Structures are given as C-alpha cells and as structure tokens.
Structure 1
C-alpha cells in the first residue's frame, strides 16, 4: 500500500484515476508535479472533472510525506497495471460500439431496444439466441425455451404447485430477467405489474418471473406486428403491460 489517502481519494473504476496513475503513482511524485501540471495533463487527455480530481489527489498527496518500503517497485507495477486497464477499457468500449452498430442495422434492432430495459447488449444477446423468432411457433414456445413457462408439480395433497423446468435456454432467460430487473426502475408500467403480482401474494421471484413472461409476450407482439413498443398509445391489449394479467 503506497498511500492509503490516495487510494481513498481515487475511484479506480474511473478513466481519470487510471490515466492519473499511469503517470504518477506516489504522493511524492504528485507533489513534485504540482497541481498546475497535473491539471493540464488530465485536461490534455480529456479527463472529465479534471480540476476536482486534481484537487483531491494533491490534497491526499500532501498528507503523506514518508516513503514506504518498496515504494518504487510498487509504483512501477501500479503504473503498468493502470496502463493495461486503460487498454482493456478502450477495447471494451470499441466492442460495445461495434455491437451497437450491428444491432442498429438489424431488422429487429430498433424494435428490441424500444422495449424498456433492453439495451444494445441484451438486444444482441436475444438475436444471438432467438434470431428472428422463425423457429418458434408462438410466444408460449419461446417462453418454454426461455424457462418462463412453469410446469405443474401437483400431487394428491398439493395442487397448483408450479416450478421452473429443469431444461431451458439460460441465455434467453438471462435476457428477459436482466431487462425486467432494469425495467423495474425505469418503466412505471413494469413496476406496476410487478407490484400487482406482489399484492396477489407472489414472492419476489414469482413476480419477477411473471413480469419477464409478460414482457416476452409484449416483445413477441411487437416483432409480429413489426412495430415499436409504444407505452403511451398501445396498439393492442398485448402491448399494454399493465393490462396483461
């Protein structure tokens, strides 16, 4: 640990912190550079909120004036790791941009991303797993493949017991589960439908699965009709999440 104060001041997930550490890794190095030079360097590399970051790290650097054992070696390692992480992040960004471009050009791309909770990454996953839905005869068939069509496990003493099938496409289920989780925060209709199921006595898992199934029905209807999801003016009962019970 070179500097506890510096580690506390930096968010190592941010581009600015990595760019800073690629150049300066120790409190002494930051003090020698000075605020003006650090600020100019960060601005030159397009770091957001460079002035705030500069003030934070320089204040942290001033709190430690003693060098720790092995500081020089640790600084070399930290600098190289920061550079490597920057390269990885740049590569991830480039891949995400490529995925976004492919989805945008696909015939179903705009329809998929119109449904709240489905971004370009989940849209790409859906297309990879389900294609254009030509292999599914109905939304029920798609739901069964995605593990969203519970099967009955009734017995002589227990009725109405339904469980998730053992065999299903986990990639497809992930698409609907992840998009439903996001929609709970950003889509009022999805939240209302989920809350309705909870009020009916469903557990969180059951309500979330019910929401995923209803969103699957909505997406199927949009793809079938070749229309975007329109929450304010639904074209049919199938497109209105909250009206699907």
Structure 2
C-alpha cells in the first residue's frame, strides 16, 4: 500500500524509531544488518540531532518512525532539518512484520529493531513521507480539537436529554430534538424546570424563544405548554435536575460557540490552501471534508487510486478458499477518519445526478444503502486521486448516448 522510498538503493544506514511521549527508542543498522545504535534517547531536539549527525558520516540515512504525527512530529522535523530521507511504517504492516520475528514481548527496543529491519529488508512496507506544510499542521490540530468538541457536545446533549427524560418525558420529546438551537439552550438556562416553565406561561416562553428563533419560537412555546399539561406528578430528583440542567445548557452553548469559532478558522485555512479549488470542485466536498482530506492525505504518496482506497479502508477484501468460500467483504481496516469523511462526502454527493445514478444502479443490483454508499465512495476515490495527482478540477463524465 505504501510507495517505495525515493533513492532507497543509495541508503547506507537505516534508523528505526519507536516514538514515545517522554523518550524514544532508536535502533540503527547498516545495509548488512549490523547494529550501529541501540538505546533510548529523550524526546529532545539536541539528542535527535546528535544521533542523526553521528550516523550521517557512514553514508545516506533513512529515518523511519511508526507514528508520523503527534508524538512523532518532532523526530521527523529534526530528521528533515538534517537533510535525511524520512518515512513511516503503518501500524498494520508493523503488527504483521512483528509476527515474523521471534518472541512475543512488546517492548520499545523490540519495536524499534523491527522498524529498522523492515526499513532495511522490506522497503515496500514503508510509506514515503513529506512533512505537511504549516497550513496542514494547523488544520490537523484544529480538526482534532473540533473532534473533541463534537464528542463533548454529544455527551452533554445526551446528559441533558437523559435528565429531561427522567423528570418529564413529554417535555423531553419537545425540547430534546432541538438542543442544537440557541433559543432552546437560552430557555433552559432561564427556566430549567417544568415548574418554572409552567409558571412562566406560554406567552412569556414564546417571547423568550422569539428573540433567537423568530420563526418557530411561538410554535415551540405552544408545544412546550401542551407537553407540560401531560404530567401532573413531580418525579423524585426533579429539584436536583433543576440545579444541573441550566449548567449543562450553559456548557452546551459554550461548546457550540467554540466549535463555531473553530469552524471559521478551519474555513480560512482551507480556503487559503492551494488545493482548495481542486477539492471543493468535487460534488459533496465542503470545507470540513476538504480539511479532512488535507490532514489525512497531504504528505503521503499513493501510486494508484487503489492504494488510496486501501489506505482509507474502502477497497473490498477478497476472501477465497477452494470452492466453499468465495466473495468480497468490506474492509474493517484503514484510516477511519478518512473513511468517514469519504463516506459522508459520498452521501452528500447523492444530490449530484452522476453520483445518484451510480448509487441507484448499485441499489438495483441488490446492495443495501451503506454498501451502495461505500461503492460510490470507492469510485470517487479514483476521481479524487486523479484530481490530486494532476491538480485538476472535477469534471463530470459525459454520458454516453444510447
């Protein structure tokens, strides 16, 4: 799945690094397999430069890590500054290669030795790597923070809905599905209990909602008032929920505000990137999808569209054994972030006539909805790979006359 390292035949020293938060473990071997370095070193620029600089005297150096991002960012940046070749070994390849070596221990020293040996003897298992530019690095950090915010929003929303369901199910059926609206968050902060909503009355609730939801505020107020009449008993724990709900509502509103601010910055970075017009010219690719494509694909080389699809986990896996087991199944591996982005992009592209026709054809062939979407996403990988390779905008295929 990875592409060969450019100039691999001229490499004299292979450095395998198992990266860590506090310290890394490095093993260096020459082309004959003789160990030149085998020890832990701190996650420090000076120590990394000493390691690479000392081995550069022996010839051309290839520096390989098992994680190119997060904790592996500094070692790769130092290696690039030292002017040596850089690459990384994917986690799946790493696990399979580890099975070929004796022993079952999982240690940093063993992992570093396996990485170095794989770099020396199995170059096809490596991926060539170019460090992402500053824009992509910022995008990666912001998208990661956006993911964290999205998870917190989901957890907080579920907590609010759980409390409402516990104390007043009818009220939850009205408010729960609308927790993403600022007007509802504001209402919960002002009137956090069924008793306070009842005391406020429909008109006051409507006035409050109409400030942030002028079109639907009155209708929501009427639905809330109707829901309040469906329960007369007070459930145990309502008083405590009254204390918790406004705080959760305020927290949820703050999280959504933070995510909106991050979205503005992500949009700015995506629009400033040279590949922005290329990516967004494809149906179903908006700013968020373009950001994900940049963070997950930028700096990696894929020889063919099949390599890209395999990396994303969209390539079907063939299973055959004699005449009893035959078929193809969806892969459960690959880059899950990229796979999700391409899957959702394919779903959004169903408004495009060409994509819709392909999806409908797969449904006619007996595929389920998700299967047809995965097939569409796989087909779009071919187009996306060509667009990225040539730097060309999306061009809809010309239908062939009957």
Q: TM-score, normalised by structure 1?
A: 0.75
Any conservation in 2 of the 1:192–1:242 contact (CA below 8 Å)?
no
Any conservation in 2 of the 1:190–1:211 contact (CA below 8 Å)?
yes
Any conservation in 1 of the 2:312–2:339 contact (CA below 8 Å)?
yes
Residue equivalent to 1:175: 341
| Alpha-carbon distance between aligned partners in 2 of 1:132 and 1:103, rounded to the nearest angstrom | 16
Change (3 A) 1:72 1:206: closer
Relative contact order (alpha carbons < 8 A, sep ≥ 6): 1 or 2 greater? 1
Any conservation in 2 of the 1:146–1:173 contact (CA below 8 Å)?
yes
- RMSD in angstroms over aligned alpha carbons? 3.3
Residue equivalent to 2:191: 24
Larger Rg computed on CA atoms: 2
Report how many aligned residue pairs link the two structures: 232
CA deviation vs aligned residue, 1:187-230 (integer Å, no higher than 9, x gap): 23112113334545666666444322221111223334434324
Residue equivalent to 1:14: 180
Q: Give 1:150 shift.
A: 4.2
| Alpha-carbon distance between aligned partners in 1 of 2:376 and 2:269, rounded to the nearest angstrom | 28
Residue equivalent to 2:222: 55
1:187 aligns with 2:355: no
1:196 aligns with 2:382: no
Structure 1: runs of 5+ lacking an equivalent? 232-239
Residue equivalent to 2:239: 72
SS in 2 for 1:137: coil
SS in 2 for 1:173: helix
| Alpha-carbon distance between aligned partners in 1 of 2:209 and 2:372, rounded to the nearest angstrom | 47
| Alpha-carbon distance between aligned partners in 2 of 1:35 and 1:165, rounded to the nearest angstrom | 53
| Alpha-carbon distance between aligned partners in 2 of 1:36 and 1:204, rounded to the nearest angstrom | 45
Any conservation in 1 of the 2:184–2:209 contact (CA below 8 Å)?
no
Change (3 A) 1:182 1:153: same
Change (3 A) 1:75 1:203: closer
Structure 2: runs of 5+ lacking an equivalent? 1-165
SS in 2 for 1:143: helix
| Alpha-carbon distance between aligned partners in 2 of 1:12 and 1:218, rounded to the nearest angstrom | 38
Would you tell me which structure has more strand in proportion to its own residues? 2
Change (3 A) 1:66 1:172: closer
| Alpha-carbon distance between aligned partners in 1 of 2:260 and 2:293, rounded to the nearest angstrom | 20
Would you tell me which structure has more helix in proportion to its own residues? 1
| Alpha-carbon distance between aligned partners in 2 of 1:210 and 1:71, rounded to the nearest angstrom | 49
| Alpha-carbon distance between aligned partners in 1 of 2:368 and 2:192, rounded to the nearest angstrom | 49
